[in-house]
Amino acid sequence: MSLMNVFDVTKTGLVAQTSRLNLIAENIANADVESSTPEGAYRAQYPMFRAFFNEEQISAQGQGVRYEGPVDDTRAPRALFDPGNPKANAEGYVFMSNVNTVEEMSNMMSASRSYQTNVEVMNTAKQLLMRTLTLGQV
């Protein structure tokens, strides 16, 4: 992999982590949404990533990561007994989203650090290129 390819690979990482952070923010924003049916409850979403390769190369050298879209969480929504709630069903249950805010916060920290790491890789590659240009100078 050439040094110039580093920028392309880290760009895909930045895009992927930005998409991940957007889904995390959406999950946290909808963590306390209520519904009268389990089907209507908000379901947490997680990003689906896929590594992609350069078809021109014979080796299986990765060229980055691609965001394929969100995937819904399959866990059941939380059922709370709250017969006084206007959204309660006939049995008195309100269905809450299946978002775990503690899990989402740890995912947010991980995505943020991954984003920062990609930025650092880009900065290091830039510094290496700049130093390469000064090799022949006195």
Residue-averaged pLDDT of the chain: 90
DSSP three-state, residue 12 = helix
Percent of the chain with pLDDT over 90: 72
Separation between Cα atoms, residue 67 and residue 47, nearest integer Å: 7
The whole-number pLDDT of residue 53 equals 75
Q: What is the pLDDT of residues 14-67, one digit of tens each?
A: 999 999 999 999 999 999 999 999 999 999 999 999 988 766 655 556 688 889
User: Which segments of 30-86 does DSSP mark as H helices, in order?
Assistant: none
Three-state DSSP state, 62:
strand
Q: What is the pTM of this model?
A: 0.83
- List strands edge to edge, sheet with 93-96: 34-35, 93-96, 78-81
Confidence at residue 77, expressed as pLDDT on a 0 to 100 scale: 95
